[in-house]
Amino acid sequence: MSFRKLGLTEELARAVEKLGFETPTPIQAEAIPSILEGRDVVGTAQTGTGKTAAFVLPLLQRLGQPGGKVRALILTPTRELAQQVESSLQELGRFAKLRSCTIFGGVSQRGQEDALRRGVDIVVATPGRLLDLLEQKVVSLSSIEMLVLDEADRMMDMGFLPDVRRIVRLVPAQRQTLLFSATLPPEIRELTRTLQRDPKFVEVGGSGTPVVGVEQRLFPVPPHLKCDLLLHLLGRETMRPLLVFTRTKHGADRLHRVLEKQRHKVARIHSGRSQGQRQEALEGFRRNHYQILIATDIAARGIDVRNISHVINYDIPNNADDYIHRIGRTARATATGLAYSFITPDEEDQVRSIERSLRRKLNRIRLEDFAYDAPPQPKTGSRSESNPLMERRAFRAAPAGPVRVFDRFAHSGNSRRPAAGAGQRSRPGFGAAKPRSGRGDRQEFRGKSNSWSEGSMGAPSSEEQAELKRLQRKLFGSGRTRHRHVLS
Ligand code: AMP
């Protein structure tokens, strides 16, 4: 099967060839002909299966010639994904004359306004900043012919559905609507009923299942030894490029400091970093300037880097959807990859829930040459220092010091109370993370599943731990409901 056989124009087929795509992926083969016919489509596909090209190619073809008005709107949950879609539009539309721009928060509005004034055919936007520009009448959606909701389940998780509905009310009813989602929870099914007309459902490989080429392994480890385990693995295996997921931005910062001190080429992206810093990190990772990228879930959403060899869940995610999205960052399209997850005794519930969703038990690995019985590390005086090797030395020198909490869940298996000294710092963001300014930042703070962690700092207090447990119960309660469709 070739791209030409799907009914694509010569110029699009040439652009595809230039990217080195030889045959359409299953989601492309299924979705492209229906979209070209003008049908509404609901696409459920595993992450990394080529879904972006599945809607970008027919969208470019249906729009045809430039018209000087915004005729297609692509909504994405994150800035990174918006940029990723925009670069696919540029690459696949290299022989077309259509113009596109991105609209997202966290950067100045000026450049986006200028691009809109010059005239674009396609807008790729996150909901918050788009609503701002709509309110200011900088952009009009009255000429939209095609509407795409990308990663709709993630938009829902991030609390964007009311914004999406507000935006859709400003789009003409006479339009073609495409919706892509890794999973189809009831809320998304309801959305398709209200936004689409007789959509064609295209499901590839079953929703909620990880990419085929990923080999998954679990590494049980005491909480205080997670960092040592990571350093140990880095010493015994070639992991290039490596993507590491932490639950919180502060966890990402701490790990970054440790790895930098160990002279690893490492970058990080999370909601506390500016757009410029995130771009620099991603670009550097793409160009192999950084060997390791540390990321939190929200920031990692749009990462599309070829040939990631390993994904490490330094902290296990809260639900199976996030797990699948995370490990889908490796084995993109046709490659293979390894996904390691560090699991502490406290995280067994999450692991069981993930295994239930995957409908299989994952391999548990115990390394012969790793000291699983090493004691927790002592406090060294400076909480900002997180180099476990340095701390091990300090421990030998002063073994009687109070226990130092390094990981977010350190000691929570033994006691619900934080270790001595922990919890005495102020934690300005916990449980009430505040947007810095404007709507553009909102997306980072709304997450039903992430807002608590993105805004938290340091080791958890007992209050925080109770809140964390409550949220986990809530998430896993709803998680079970949400995954029922996957199992049925
Ligand atoms: P996506 O699922 O859209 O994020 O795409 C995942 C990766 O697959 C991206 O790096 C694409 O460039 C790549 N890709 C998309 N379609 C194809 C194809 N037909 N053959 C090979 N790679 C592809």
| Mean pLDDT, contiguous 10-residue spans, the chain (488 residues) | 89 92 90 96 81 96 93 94 93 93 93 94 97 95 97 86 95 97 85 94 66 82 95 89 92 96 94 85 90 83 73 89 78 72 92 86 92 78 40 33 32 35 32 36 34 34 59 54 30
Tell me, yes or no, whether 209 lies in a domain: no
Ligand 1 atom closest to the CA of 21, numbered from 1: 20
Is residue 46 in contact with ligand 1, taking CB distance under 6 Å?
no
At residue 74, the pLDDT reads 98
Give yes or no for a contact between 179 and 194, defined as CB atoms under 8 angstroms apart. no
Give yes or no for a contact between 337 and 311, defined as CB atoms under 8 angstroms apart. yes
Look at residues 364, 391, 420 and tell me which one is the last residue of a structural domain: 364
Instruction: Compute the distance between CA of residue 300 and CA of residue 297 in angstroms, rounded to an integer.
Output: 5
Q: Are residues 111 and 234 in the same domain?
A: no
Is residue 48 in contact with ligand 1, taking CB distance under 6 Å?
yes
At residue 238, the pLDDT reads 85
Instruction: Compute the distance between CA of residue 228 and CA of residue 217 in angstroms, rounded to an integer.
Output: 18
Q: In this structure, which residue's CA is closest to atom 14 in ligand 1?
A: 50
Is residue 332 in contact with ligand 1, taking CB distance under 6 Å?
yes
At residue 75, the pLDDT reads 98
Q: Cis ω on the peptide bond leading into residue 241 (within 30° of 0)? A: yes
Range of the domain at 410: 383-487
Alpha helices in 242-400 (DSSP H): 249-261, 275-286, 297-300, 320-327, 348-358, 388-397
* Helix (H) or strand (E) segment spanning residue 229: helix 226-236
Structural domain tally of the chain? Answer: 3
Ligand 1 atom closest to the CA of 88, numbered from 1: 12
Q: Are residues 139 and 182 in the same domain?
A: yes
Q: Are residues 225 and 152 in the same domain?
A: no
Q: Are residues 161 and 251 in the same domain?
A: no
Q: From 175, 220, 155, 167, select the one nearest 62 (Cα to Cα).
A: 175
Burial state string for 203-240 with b = 16 or more CB within 10 A and e = fewer than 16 = ebeebbbbbeebebebbbbbbbbbbbbbbbbbeeeebe
Strand-by-strand arrangement of the 41-45 sheet: 100-103, 122-125, 72-75, 146-149, 176-181, 41-45, 200-204
**Three-state secondary-structure class, residue 200:** strand
Q: In this structure, which residue's CA is closest to atom 18 in ligand 1?
A: 21
Q: How far is the CA of 163 from the centre of ligand 1 (A)?
A: 29
Tell me, yes or no, whether 371 lies in a domain: no
Tell me, yes or no, whether 375 lies in a domain: no
Q: In this structure, which residue's CA is closest to atom 16 in ligand 1?
A: 50
Q: Across-strand partners of 75?
A: 125, 149
Q: In this structure, which residue's CA is closest to atom 19 in ligand 1?
A: 24
Q: Are residues 298 and 274 in the same domain?
A: yes
Q: From 362, 306, 313, select the one nearest 332 (Cα to Cα).
A: 306
Q: Are residues 328 and 413 in the same domain?
A: no
Q: Are residues 138 and 163 in the same domain?
A: yes
Look at residues 146, 173, 204 and tell me which one is the last residue of a structural domain: 204
For 296, the token pair is 């939190």
Q: From 305, 148, 318, select the one nearest 240 (Cα to Cα).
A: 305
Pairing of strands 100-103, 310-313: unpaired
Q: In this structure, which residue's CA is closest to atom 21 in ligand 1?
A: 21
Ligand 1 atom closest to the CA of 304, numbered from 1: 10
Tell me, yes or no, whether 40 lies in a domain: yes
In this prediction the pTM is 0.58
For 2, the token pair is 């070739």
Q: Across-strand partners of 146?
A: 72, 176
At residue 475, the pLDDT reads 58
Is residue 304 in contact with ligand 1, taking CB distance under 6 Å?
yes
**Residue bearing tokens 């359409």:** 24
Look at residues 330, 364, 398 and tell me which one is the last residue of a structural domain: 364
Is residue 53 in contact with ligand 1, taking CB distance under 6 Å?
yes
Q: In this structure, which residue's CA is closest to atom 8 in ligand 1?
A: 333
Instruction: Compute the distance between CA of residue 438 and CA of residue 86 in angstroms, rounded to an integer.
Output: 23
Tell me, yes or no, whether 84 lies in a domain: yes
Pairing of strands 363-364, 214-220: parallel
At residue 474, the pLDDT reads 58
Mutation test residue for ligand 1: of 52, 87, 91, the one with most atoms within 8 Å of CB: 52
At residue 272, the pLDDT reads 86
